[in-house]
Structure 1
Amino acid sequence: MKAEHRDSMKNVVWSGNWVAERLGVELVGDEELRDLLGLALRRNPKRAHLLVSNVLGKHVPQSPLRVWQTGYELGRRVRDLLGVPGARRAVVLGYAETATGLGHSVADGLGLAPYLHSTRRPVEGVERAGGFEESHSHATSHLLLPEKPGLLAGDGALVLVDDEFSTGNTVLNTIRALHERYPREHYVIVALVDMRSPADRGRLDEFAREIGARVDLVAAASGTVRLPDGILAKGQALVAEHEREHEQAHENGTAASAPVPLPQPGTIARVQLGWPRGLPDGGRHGFTPEHRAQLEGALPAMAARLADALPEDARRILVLGFEELMYAPLRLGVALEKLKPDGTEVRYSTTTRSPVLALDDPGYAIRSRLVFPAHDTPGDGPGERYAYNVAGAGFDAVVAVVDSVADTAELHAPDGLLARLAAHTPSVLLAVVPSYVPASASYVPACAPAEPNSSERPSMLPEPLRGPDFSSYAPDEVGWLLQDLSDTRLEAPTEEREEAIQSGGAHYAESLPVEYQPSAQYQELFRAALDASAARIAQAVGAVTETVLAERSPRPVLVSLARAGTPIGILMRRWARIRHGLDLPHYAVSIVRGRGIDANALRWLAAHHDPADVVFLDGWTGKGAITRELAQAIEEFEASDGITGFDPEIAVLADPGSCVRTYGTREDFLIPSACLNSTVSGLISRTVLRADLVGEHDFHGAKFYRELADADASADFLDAVSDRFGEVGEAVGTQVKELLSTDRSPTWEGWAAVERISEEYGINDVNLVKPGVGETTRVLLRRVPWRILARAGAGADLDHVRLLAEQRGVPVEEVAELPYTCVGLIHPKYTRGATGADGRAVTV
């Protein structure tokens, strides 16, 4: 495209001349028609010519403010037609893919009406409210998939928005189908241009009489296209001729009109928008006035992030939307246009499925074409997609905006959209809007956003691992957001691991301890402890679950911190199902002290659920190290990825350290799931994070110890506790009433106690002090214990601890006024120069 013709709106030559002269097509009507429309040819067996809108923001880059205002002003006209009360009761329906943004803008003009657009992307689990065919289109099937089935069932006017109203077949077929299911008295058709032929103009009144309703039409301009006989055949022949010439010119290296790529490809970077949590990416499942207000409040900050990421010298910027995703990039473009200084030109257009012939002629509407593979994998299958009037247009930067479903390997491929753009502009920014998934949908987006500022991403994060292939739990009990490292040797002798960890030569998460095999005597203790404490655990499970449902979310997404949290998450899920009939999703993720939570797992969760519904779970608190780790990790994740909404507060079964607000009890008692390792946790190891095993786009790892199936007590533990739910219901109700009316602010008294013990015993490292029954048990099973501190008078809760200590030759020291039932001290062998409380050196 020649520089003097960069913006078709500045051309003195009408962009429909080329087609009009060769095919005898005439555009007649209002004076503004030529300002609004150009002409092109396309490969379509049903209609050769294409009316190319200059104000729609689809094929021709245009000022985003002008695009939005055009639709907004049409909406104001509809509001004047209906009156304010009528506007409140109206529903706006837009057509995919071309008019999705226009329909949104019309709904903005009404100001009070919800919006829905048709879609060609099937979403399983969402009830269809209707569907129809677009007879002249290249992709005909339209679906109506509102999240709330009653959206189209009101008695107010239905406002149907399309870019052009020509024969009227598509709109009238839609009204007829919807009127049979959701009859109403008033329909308003809105279009940029009314291009009906004289023969079609009487059909609207006839149709209104047929269905017994009022049907109005509002358009920005009106006219008609006069088509000579035989135009379809002539147009197809003309398209074929120029496509052959184009192919031959490329083969001979003489394609003078082809856009010349940059000598060096431009840069590709990712920018994080900070899209508001729970805000739909568009109107595919409905967009309410409340959503609109939420978006308005977030736009300035999102536009500022885009402005900060753009090159300082970029003076001509294109915001490029993606097929049906037109409104979000349009509004981002409007906000960016307002933010940029004078002399900076912001333009907006979107990619499309529609194949159109491109010719670099000032009298033709489509001057250049980029072709790239489809990257919307859940859509209507593979094939070519197109971006028009972008190549050769002199853009200094392009902001490509897609939803997370479309952020696939195909997008980032060498022949993908980003690479095609980078060949023609110095800077490409990718902004990903989270795909909105209705609660009823069984389909979920395949991908989540990649690492920030990365030009490459994995094809997709894998689906969760489930039993029986990974873990002995039933597949519906938990999905593990982990990778299976079962075939990798990771175990090392306990003393060897301890030396490496304390000397700083290795992180504890880089290897696994040799799995403890309990003796017959120890297994008997576990069974006895389970029988004695099952009811107490059941009450704590009920209390924490009811607190979560009351305070956090009525339909929470349970996310256990693997692995101690996993049995608790399963029990909470069972309580919600048995007591409330809720089928809550439950996942297990990895968190590693000093390394944070698995960021890829968070990305997967954000792509599949509303982060605001996620509730992180653990078995118990000790000194609160993981509580602090999670809070810091979530803060860093939000800053790096721009994905917000995760609540870092952990819910736990037992909170003896007073580290959290949401708990089942603050007593430090024996939780039998702490007595064993994998054999009470679905035969799963603790998690592993090692650079040579876990890549940038991988989940953290873990092992499935299938060989320990004969010793597996996982199901026994779950069943023993859930069997007691019925008998503790009344006690749970009383306890929860007290909890909800009590100040449960953390006091962190456990952390203070650990610091005191660390100093008194000359350890000087709080990481070697493990408070509470659960943590003490872990020390005895996994680490090199030095001594055990037991609260004076502690009874059966410590029987298993005393047995393990005896087996490992570890002294148990009774201590008065200990805030925990017991505390395990790890051998400070590599804490040089340390002395114990009795003054003896503890360095070995």
Structure 2
Amino acid sequence: MSTIFKQKDDCIISSSFSSEDLTLLLNQATGSPVSVEEKEQLVASGGHYSDVFVKEGLLSESLKKAYDYALNENKGARRLAYHIQFLAKEIVAHSSPNKPLVLISLVRAGVPLGVLLTRYIRRNFPEVSVKHYGISIIRDRGIDQKALETIHKKNLDSIHYFIDGWTGKGSISYELRHALRNISLPFDFKLVVDSDPAKTATHCATYEDWLIPFGLVGAQISGLFSRTLWADNSYHMAAYFSDLEKDDISSNFIETVEKYTEEVIVASDYPADCSLKNSATAELFSDVSASEVIKEAMDTFNLSSIHKVKPGIAEATRAIHRRTPRLIILRTAQDPETNYIKSSAEEKGVPIQYGLSGGMGPFRAITILK
């Protein structure tokens, strides 16, 4: 059972993370959740996805097995620990020892990474004062400006970094960069992610599209709150899923990764990671960029919106659960890291295609939406 923490200030949203790990600048959502089908109808009729939230259910047995594989058998916890070591050192090295450090996780995918980084920095760099916030950013609508104003007022003369889980198309990177240009607050574009196939972040641990364990799960690994909803002139909103408390793995995930963060993990264990000369797969540094792959997918399937393309293992997986897929594209049928996507597609009757004529570039999986 999760411990429920009421956040400070005027935020009334709950989280299964403690306030030491995360200050969540979100208000409690009003209204009721909708089904995936109702959300799709709203989007198809010109509505915005951030006007509603979908009720998330208990983790299926197949998803639990996929998560366990990603975390343990595939050694994802150990690999993430190595990434945390690297990214934390990068952040501290590029910061000032005389200024407080503020990590701003973009809800939700940035939250697990932000919690891990915050804890690691506190343990290993005690001379650095670090705070961790979670705020909302919504594609095509922008960032929560009130949340940024709150952070600025409470943390004058600090060094800040925005945290997200990964990049796919780079949409959130673009949204963040655009938003920061158009607000009168001293925030620079400094984005830290675990995996950056789109090459749009400031710091990353790898460019590889890999099976990130927290990329498989939604609310139950991010503090038990929903995707965020837009709000004018106040904090953005989210719903807390109290009925999923017994299914929550947020703290267990953090503790599992932390078991490895004090290990001396040598770079040769992960030659593709933590290097700008990353070459994890044969195609990773081919002439086919992420943007070229996405353009080919749009042209091939006659898509009018780039948002119909969900590239990367994490995005492709999440799209299967919370959207209506038209097609799954996998690099190969023999990739154990995309087995869950393959089996989910087969279970839902979604067609699977292997590869694109121009190559998959950095991506191992792409979901095409209806």
- TM-score category of the 2 structures, normalised to the smaller one: 0.7 to 0.9
Contact between 1:591 and 1:598, CA under 8 Å: does it hold in 2? yes
Contact between 1:657 and 1:748, CA under 8 Å: does it hold in 2? no
1:706 and 2:248 are equivalent in the alignment: no
Contact between 2:83 and 2:274, CA under 8 Å: does it hold in 1? no
Query: 1:477 maps to which residue?
Result: 21
**In structure 2, what residue type is equivalent to 1:655?**
D
Mapped to 1, the partners of 2:271 and 2:86 lie a distance apart of 7
Q: Give how far 1:672 is off.
A: 1.3
**In structure 2, what residue type is equivalent to 1:549?**
V
Q: Pick from 467, 473, 492: which aligns with 2:34?
A: 492
1:547 and 2:79 are equivalent in the alignment: no
Contact between 1:657 and 1:751, CA under 8 Å: does it hold in 2? yes
Query: 1:789 maps to which residue?
Result: 329
Mapped to 1, the partners of 2:334 and 2:232 lie a distance apart of 46
**In structure 2, what residue type is equivalent to 1:562?**
V
Superposed CA offset, 1:434-479 (max 9, x none): xxxxxxxxxxxxxxxxxxxxxxxxxxxx72759xx71111220000
**In structure 1, what residue type is equivalent to 2:41?**
E
Mapped to 2, the partners of 1:705 and 1:546 lie a distance apart of 34
Superposed CA offset, 1:46-90 (max 9, x none): xxxxxxxxxxxxxxxxxxxxxxxxxxxxxxxxxxxxxxxxxxxxx
When residues 556 and 786 of structure 1 are mapped into structure 2, their CA distance, relative to the original with a 3 A threshold, is same
Q: Pick from 144, 147, 156: which aligns with 1:598?
A: 144
Mapped to 1, the partners of 2:310 and 2:112 lie a distance apart of 21
Mapped to 2, the partners of 1:575 and 1:677 lie a distance apart of 23
Helix, strand or coil at the partner of 2:162: strand
RMSD: 2.6
Q: Give how far 1:489 is off.
A: 3.1
Mapped to 1, the partners of 2:139 and 2:273 lie a distance apart of 34
Query: 1:628 maps to which residue?
Result: 174
**In structure 2, what residue type is equivalent to 1:631?**
R
**In structure 2, what residue type is equivalent to 1:541?**
I
When residues 754 and 529 of structure 1 are mapped into structure 2, their CA distance, relative to the original with a 3 A threshold, is same
Instruction: Decide which structure has the larger Cα Rg and report it.
Output: 1
When residues 674 and 552 of structure 1 are mapped into structure 2, their CA distance, relative to the original with a 3 A threshold, is same
**In structure 1, what residue type is equivalent to 2:122?**
R
Q: Pick from 186, 203, 207: which aligns with 1:662?
A: 203
Mapped to 2, the partners of 1:590 and 1:785 lie a distance apart of 25
**In structure 2, what residue type is equivalent to 1:765?**
S
Mapped to 2, the partners of 1:537 and 1:801 lie a distance apart of 21
Query: 2:294 maps to which residue?
Result: 754
Mapped to 2, the partners of 1:803 and 1:612 lie a distance apart of 46
Helix, strand or coil at the partner of 1:787: strand
Q: Structure 1 length normalisation: TM-score? A: 0.39
When residues 521 and 734 of structure 1 are mapped into structure 2, their CA distance, relative to the original with a 3 A threshold, is closer
Superposed CA offset, 1:463-501 (max 9, x none): 2759xx71111220000011122xx33311212211211
**In structure 1, what residue type is equivalent to 2:112?**
P
**In structure 1, what residue type is equivalent to 2:22?**
V
Q: Give how far 1:537 is off.
A: 1.4
**In structure 2, what residue type is equivalent to 1:814?**
Y
Mapped to 2, the partners of 1:798 and 1:728 lie a distance apart of 29
Mapped to 2, the partners of 1:612 and 1:703 lie a distance apart of 30
Contact between 1:612 and 1:646, CA under 8 Å: does it hold in 2? no
Helix, strand or coil at the partner of 1:588: strand
Helix, strand or coil at the partner of 2:183: helix
Mapped to 2, the partners of 1:580 and 1:677 lie a distance apart of 30
1:802 and 2:342 are equivalent in the alignment: yes
Contact between 2:329 and 2:354, CA under 8 Å: does it hold in 1? yes
Query: 1:529 maps to which residue?
Result: 70
Helix, strand or coil at the partner of 1:557: strand
**In structure 1, what residue type is equivalent to 2:291?**
W
Helix, strand or coil at the partner of 1:723: helix
Q: Give how far 1:612 is off.
A: 5.4
Q: Give how far 1:594 is off.
A: 0.9
Superposed CA offset, 1:735-791 (max 9, x none): 89974899xxxx993223212211111113111101101111110111111111111
**In structure 2, what residue type is equivalent to 1:493?**
S
Higher deviation after alignment, 578-587 or 658-667: 578-587
Query: 1:53 maps to which residue?
Result: none
Which structure has more RCO (C-alpha within 8 Å, separation ≥ 6)?
2
Q: Give how far 1:578 is off.
A: 2.7
Helix, strand or coil at the partner of 1:704: coil
Alignment of 1:362-761 (within 5 A): 463=9, 465=11, 470-485=14-29, 488-504=30-46, 506-531=47-72, 532=74, 533-554=76-97, 555-581=100-126, 582-610=128-156, 613-638=159-184, 643=185, 645-689=186-230, 694-696=231-233, 698-731=234-267, 739=275, 749-761=289-301
Contact between 1:562 and 1:687, CA under 8 Å: does it hold in 2? yes
Mapped to 1, the partners of 2:303 and 2:157 lie a distance apart of 40
**In structure 2, what residue type is equivalent to 1:770?**
K
**In structure 2, what residue type is equivalent to 1:597?**
I
Mapped to 2, the partners of 1:627 and 1:490 lie a distance apart of 30
Query: 2:303 maps to which residue?
Result: 763
Q: Give how far 1:732 is off.
A: 9.6
Contact between 1:547 and 1:740, CA under 8 Å: does it hold in 2? no
Mapped to 1, the partners of 2:344 and 2:273 lie a distance apart of 39
Mapped to 2, the partners of 1:665 and 1:541 lie a distance apart of 11
When residues 550 and 609 of structure 1 are mapped into structure 2, their CA distance, relative to the original with a 3 A threshold, is same
**In structure 2, what residue type is equivalent to 1:559?**
I
Mapped to 2, the partners of 1:733 and 1:524 lie a distance apart of 25
**In structure 2, what residue type is equivalent to 1:484?**
Q
Superposed CA offset, 1:527-567 (max 9, x none): 12111211111112222222121124544200000011000
5+ residue gaps in structure 1? 1-461, 828-844
Mapped to 2, the partners of 1:656 and 1:518 lie a distance apart of 27
Helix, strand or coil at the partner of 2:130: coil
When residues 463 and 476 of structure 1 are mapped into structure 2, their CA distance, relative to the original with a 3 A threshold, is same
Contact between 2:115 and 2:132, CA under 8 Å: does it hold in 1? yes
When residues 762 and 736 of structure 1 are mapped into structure 2, their CA distance, relative to the original with a 3 A threshold, is closer
Mapped to 2, the partners of 1:723 and 1:707 lie a distance apart of 29
Mapped to 2, the partners of 1:553 and 1:701 lie a distance apart of 33
Helix, strand or coil at the partner of 1:680: helix
5+ residue gaps in structure 2? 1-7, 279-286
When residues 676 and 734 of structure 1 are mapped into structure 2, their CA distance, relative to the original with a 3 A threshold, is closer
Contact between 1:566 and 1:588, CA under 8 Å: does it hold in 2? yes
Query: 2:284 maps to which residue?
Result: none
Contact between 2:168 and 2:311, CA under 8 Å: does it hold in 1? yes
Mapped to 2, the partners of 1:465 and 1:653 lie a distance apart of 28
Contact between 1:683 and 1:705, CA under 8 Å: does it hold in 2? yes
When residues 674 and 779 of structure 1 are mapped into structure 2, their CA distance, relative to the original with a 3 A threshold, is same
Q: Give how far 1:665 is off.
A: 0.9
Mapped to 1, the partners of 2:38 and 2:130 lie a distance apart of 42
Mapped to 1, the partners of 2:21 and 2:193 lie a distance apart of 18
Mapped to 2, the partners of 1:482 and 1:732 lie a distance apart of 41
Mapped to 2, the partners of 1:734 and 1:494 lie a distance apart of 38
Mapped to 2, the partners of 1:685 and 1:738 lie a distance apart of 31
When residues 470 and 821 of structure 1 are mapped into structure 2, their CA distance, relative to the original with a 3 A threshold, is same
1:825 and 2:368 are equivalent in the alignment: yes
Helix, strand or coil at the partner of 1:658: coil
Runs of 4 or more consecutive aligned structure 1 residues displaced over 4 Å after TM superposition: 552-555, 732-742
Mapped to 2, the partners of 1:706 and 1:464 lie a distance apart of 20
Q: Give how far 1:596 is off.
A: 0.5
